[in-house]
Structure 1
Amino acid sequence: MTGSSTERRAGLVVCAALAALFSLSGCTTGGTPETEATGGAPVALASASTATAVPTPTGASATASGPAQEVLAASDPRSLTIPATGTTSELLHLGLRGDGSLEVPPEPPGSPAGWYDGSPTPGERGPAVLLGHVNATGGGPGVFAELRQLRAGDKIEVARQDGSTAVFTVDRGEAYAKDEFPTLEVYGNTQRAELRLITCDGYDPVTGDFDDNYVVYATLTM
Structure 2
Amino acid sequence: MRSTRPTGSRTRGVRGVRGRGSRRLGDTAIAAVTVVALASGVWLLGGQSHTPPQPAAAEGRPDPGEERLSAPSLPPSPPLRIRIPAIRVNAPLMGLALTSSGSLDVPPAQNKNLAGWYEAGTTPGERGTAIVAGHVDNTEGPAVFYDLGALKRGARIEVDRRDGTVAEFTVDAVEVYAARDFPDQKVYGAASRPELRVITCGGGYSKTTGYQGNVVVFAHLTGSH
CA distance in 2, matches of 1:71, 1:187: 18
Structure 2 segments unaligned to the other structure (5+ residues): 1-23, 55-65
Judge conservation of contact 2:42–2:49 (CA < 8 Å) in 1.
no
Deviations 1:150-185 (A, max 9, x none): 111100000000000000000011111112111100
* Structure 1 counterpart of 2:77, from 60, 75, 95: 75
Q: Does 1:218 align with 2:219?
A: yes
Shift of 1:149: 1.4
CA distance in 2, matches of 1:146, 1:26: 13
Shift of 1:69: 5.7
Q: Secondary structure at the match of 2:27?
A: helix
Q: Does 1:9 align with 2:26?
A: yes
Identity %: 39
Deviations 1:111-141 (A, max 9, x none): 4000111220000011110000001332x11
Judge conservation of contact 1:127–1:193 (CA < 8 Å) in 2.
yes
Distance 1:26 1:145, change over 3 A: closer
Deviations 1:183-219 (A, max 9, x none): 1000000001000000001242453510101100000
CA distance in 2, matches of 1:112, 1:160: 16
Deviations 1:32-70 (A, max 9, x none): 47435759xxxxxxxxxxxxxxxxxxxxxxxxx957862
CA distance in 2, matches of 1:168, 1:72: 12
Structure 1 segments unaligned to the other structure (5+ residues): 1-6, 40-64
The total of aligned residue pairs comes to: 185
CA distance in 1, matches of 2:119, 2:187: 16
Distance 1:137 1:111, change over 3 A: farther
Residue matched to 2:32: 20
Q: Does 1:29 align with 2:31?
A: no
Q: Secondary structure at the match of 2:186?
A: helix
Judge conservation of contact 1:109–1:136 (CA < 8 Å) in 2.
no
Q: Secondary structure at the match of 1:130?
A: strand
Q: Secondary structure at the match of 2:105?
A: coil
- Which AA in structure 2 matches 1:98? S
- Which AA in structure 1 matches 2:163? D
Shift of 1:27: 4.0
Give the TM-score, by structure 2 length: 0.73
Q: Does 1:188 align with 2:189?
A: yes
Residue matched to 1:116: 118
Shift of 1:80: 0.6
Judge conservation of contact 2:52–2:136 (CA < 8 Å) in 1.
no
Shift of 1:101: 1.6
Judge conservation of contact 2:80–2:93 (CA < 8 Å) in 1.
yes
Judge conservation of contact 1:134–1:199 (CA < 8 Å) in 2.
yes
- Which AA in structure 2 matches 1:75? S
Residue matched to 1:97: 99
Give the TM-score, by structure 1 length: 0.74
Judge conservation of contact 1:8–1:117 (CA < 8 Å) in 2.
no
Runs of 4+ in 1 over 4 A off after TM superposition: 36-39, 65-69
Shift of 1:28: 4.6
Q: How does 1:132-143 map to 2 (within 5 A)?
A: 132-138=134-140, 140-143=141-144
Q: Does 1:161 align with 2:162?
A: yes
Distance 1:38 1:92, change over 3 A: same
